[in-house]
Structure 1
Amino acid sequence: MTIDIAPSPAPVRHPMLAQVVATRKLTPRLIRVTLTGSALDTFGYDGPDHLARVFLAPRADVELCLPASAERWWPAVQAMPDEVRPIVRNYTVRRLDGGRREMDIDFVLHAEAGPGSSWAATAAVGDQIGVLSDGAEYAPPADTDWQLLIGDETALPAIAAIVESLPADGHALVLLEVGDATDELDLAAPSGARITWLHRGATRAGHSDIVLRTLRETVFPVGAAYAFVAGESAMVTSVRRHLVGERGVAKQRVYFCGYWRAAAR
């Protein structure tokens, strides 16, 4: 992950326009979209799981319209006419290079494509998108001895960025649920990070218990843990319940976030 640390304009948190400069298939189901924009050197960045609200035109034949308000951007979006109101979704900033005014966002190409997945699948150089800096939550306490990082494809950008930000002597157990081996990525991890890819196979995303089954069989290192758990809502909830109720991890040392919710079987 690249984060520009050179002096730059004061960070701002308002919707800003960006354009696609490149796309690249990382796996059969993951595509990286590289963006540029004249204001990206002011994009406020707080950490490796930094959330960006993305704004997409409602249709390909409609020009993207962004809210002018920073503090009240959501009411401004809601007040727009239906035919121009942008679609808003949440994604993780995979890479930010303020000096080059570039940003990478990785999109999962879902079988049942939503607006973000559909847009990314056909994104071309010059296509426009809006981005809004919206903060980060990853915050291991100072006394953390080791980290537990758990997620599915939707959490892969955040967890990959976290792994790459670990110090050289950092220790982590990483459990990543994906469809199969073609979904795995090479991550720049320190020697103390043990990455385990969990393949759910033919089971639909959001309906596998492979993460919880593997976690129950995992021996934890000695010391104070910090857990970052993200992905499908039911998986995240079950993992948190296991960590707190069965492993005795303090609630305040577990960050969990349901990025999406699977449909009923």
Structure 2
Amino acid sequence: MLPKVQKPDTRKMITLEVLGRTTLSPHFVSVTLGGPELAHLEPSGFDQGVRLFFPREGQPGLRMPTLSSEAWLAEFMLLPKTRRPWVRNLTIRRFRPERDEIDIEFAVHGDSPMSRWVRRVRPGDPAGIFDIGRTYLPAAHARWQLLVADESALPATLSILEQAPETLTAQVFLEVPEAADIRADLAAPPGVRVHWLARTDPHQRPGVLALDTVRAAELPPGPCYAWVAGESKLATGLRRHLVNDRGLAKPDIGFVGYWRHGRSSPG
């Protein structure tokens, strides 16, 4: 089953440039992108996602698709790899339209194409985005919310909490690679309880700790909206648990498998 997505009314391919890069913790880096074409981005907030296009190593510039529709993928795949950029799905962490800037936070790990780009990127380097909408769509009847994420979905969850109303009541479980990645300065509404879960085994598959912790947790009663994102088995496994063991209705669960452990993204 595919996740429910609220897509933008209008969108177009947007070319930007890197304005800055900030290391946040051992496994997280924030990159600021900007440019006048951000005037074409329709902000939807919360976990608003974009396809991020960035050059492969050795490419002199960025070759963006020209089609601002779902046909972009066919155009993209027809390009030879010598001219085709990398593309990955990321979340807009912050949007400053008055300055034509957005921040995107990256979970950096291993030797993936995205991690290599984040490590070498410099101000003035090209990048591009294409809006894909948001999946955080709380049910109006929910009395409280359950938010669960591994490191790949941490930026999206932080964005959700940063924009949440002060009346939000929620249990939040955030899994990160190590204790040094915990954001001690996280601000959340008073009714939100955040559980940080730092892995102690570097070989443990991401998402297992969060899945096991929520399965064993004592959660509040009453109608709930759950949003789960991260490694594919975390998203599908927790959805199965919430439906079969907790009695949540399927429409009250938003779940997104951002990636699959051991499998690289196409592109």
The alignment's TM-score, normalised by the length of structure 2, stands at 0.90
Distance 2:198 2:153 in 1: 15
Tell me if structure 2 keeps the 8 A contact 1:198–1:210: yes
* Bigger Cα displacement from structure 2, 199-208 vs 20-29: 199-208
Q: Which amino acid letter does the alignment assign opposite residue 41 of structure 1?
A: A
Deviates more, 1:208-217 or 1:224-233: 208-217
Q: Distance in 2 between matches of 1:213 and 1:219?
A: 12
Q: Give the drift of 1:68.
A: 1.4
Q: Which residue of 2 aligns with 1:104?
A: 103
- Alpha-carbon offset, residue 241 of structure 1: 1.0
- C-alpha distance after superposition, 1:156-192 (max 9, x if no partner): 0110011112211210100011122101112220111
Contact 1:175 1:196 in 2 (8 A): yes
Moved more, 245-254 or 34-43: 34-43
Q: Report deviation, 1:47.
A: 2.8
Distance 1:184 1:66 in 2: 35
Deviation at 1:207, TM superposition (A): 5.1
Task: For 2:101, give the aligned amino acid.
Answer: E
> 5 Å matches for 1:219-238?
219-238=218-237
**1:46-195 to 2 correspondence within 5 Å?**
46-71=44-69, 72-111=71-110, 113-185=111-183, 186-195=185-194
Contact 2:63 2:84 (8 Å CA) reproduced: yes
1: distance between equivalents of 2:168 and 2:126?
A: 38
Aligned 8 A contact 2:95 2:103 in 1: yes
On the 8 A contact 1:52/1:133 being kept in 2, the answer is yes
The aligned counterpart of 1:254 is 253
Seq. identity, %: 39
Shift of 1:12: 4.4
CA RMSD of aligned residues (A): 1.7
Name 1:3's counterpart in structure 2: none
CA distance, structure 1, for counterparts of residue 236 and residue 9 of structure 2: 34
Unpaired runs of 5+ in structure 2?
Answer: 1-7
Render the CA deviation track for 1:21-48: whole Å, top value 9, x for unaligned: 1111111110000010111122122231
AA aligned opposite 2:228: V
Deviation at 1:210, TM superposition (A): 1.8
Q: Hey, what does 1:211 align to over in structure 2?
A: 210
Cα deviation for residue 11 of structure 1 reads 7.6
Aligned in 2, Cα 1:205/1:64: closer, same or farther, shift over 3 Å? farther
CA distance in 1, matches of 2:207, 2:141: 33
- How many Å apart are 1:129 and its aligned residue? 0.5
Q: Can you give the 5+ residue segments of structure 1 that lack an aligned partner in the other structure?
A: 1-9
Q: Is the 8 A contact 2:151 2:174 kept in 1?
A: yes
Assess if the C-alpha contact under 8 Å between 1:147 and 1:172 holds in 2.
yes
Aligned to 1:27: 25
Task: Count matched residues.
Answer: 254
CA distance in 2, matches of 1:90, 1:22: 20
Partner SS state of residue 39, structure 1: helix
How far residue 224 of structure 1 moved from its aligned partner, in angstroms, is: 1.1
TM-score by length of 1: 0.91
